[in-house]
Amino acid sequence: SQWDADEFPRLASILDSIDEIKILQHLDVVEVCLGWERNNRYSLYNKNGEQILYTYEAAQCVARQCFGSLRELTLVVTDNDDNRLLFLQRPLRCSSRCFYACCCLQTMAVSTSDESDDKLAVVSERWTCCLPEYQVEDSLGNIKFTLHGTLCHCRCCCNITFTVKSLKGFEVASITTQWGGWKEFIGACNEFTI
């Protein structure tokens, strides 16, 4: 179905007046101490620091340990009352530039249930030689937005920003992974700003 605010009144009411979202990954002590990859958890805040949403990962233990960031996963987005609002599903894919010829680019489906045929949108990686690019398609396959990264994705001492553009080329948003300083050295504790 097409995205319609009337169809998702709870999500629309949460996001309607928000112009910035900060996403903080929860630091997992077991993961840091033992090196055992666990399901990620995130809290989403408005710019006043009030939590507006919560997201948790559902991925198989073997996939987390063996495939790391390439693993198949589902992210479940809930409101503060634990009502499930969105599901983001990504299949297991290889993301090395050497393997692009085998058409294994990353994709993530956004839906309102964990059924794969109930898609609101799909975010797909596009093959490029150097710069990372993604496109966002609606449920009918129409491209709505493109995301453009920078050449360097070295996380050492700098932020990584993706620009979200309309089909006419206007910047409508940006997604930034904040460099975490000392937290970068103790484990996965990412911080994003949209």
pTM attached to this predicted model: 0.82
Q: Are strands 143-148 and 191-193 parallel, antiparallel or unpaired?
A: unpaired
What residue ranges define each of the domains in the chain, with the CATH number in brackets? 9-193 (2.40.160)
Bridge partners (DSSP) of residue 134 are 125, 147
Helix, strand or coil, per DSSP, at residue 36: coil
Helix count and strand count (H, E) for the chain: 3, 12
Chain segment 137-154, per-residue pLDDT in tens = 988 899 999 999 887 666
pLDDT tens, residue by residue, 55-111? 998 888 777 777 777 788 888 999 999 988 889 898 887 765 555 555 678 888 888
Q: Is 57 helix (H, G, I), strand (E, B) or coil?
A: strand
Q: What is the pLDDT of residues 158-174, one digit of tens each?
A: 788 889 999 999 999 89
Contact 111, 119 (CB under 8 A): yes
Cβ atoms 166, 145 nearer than 8 A: yes
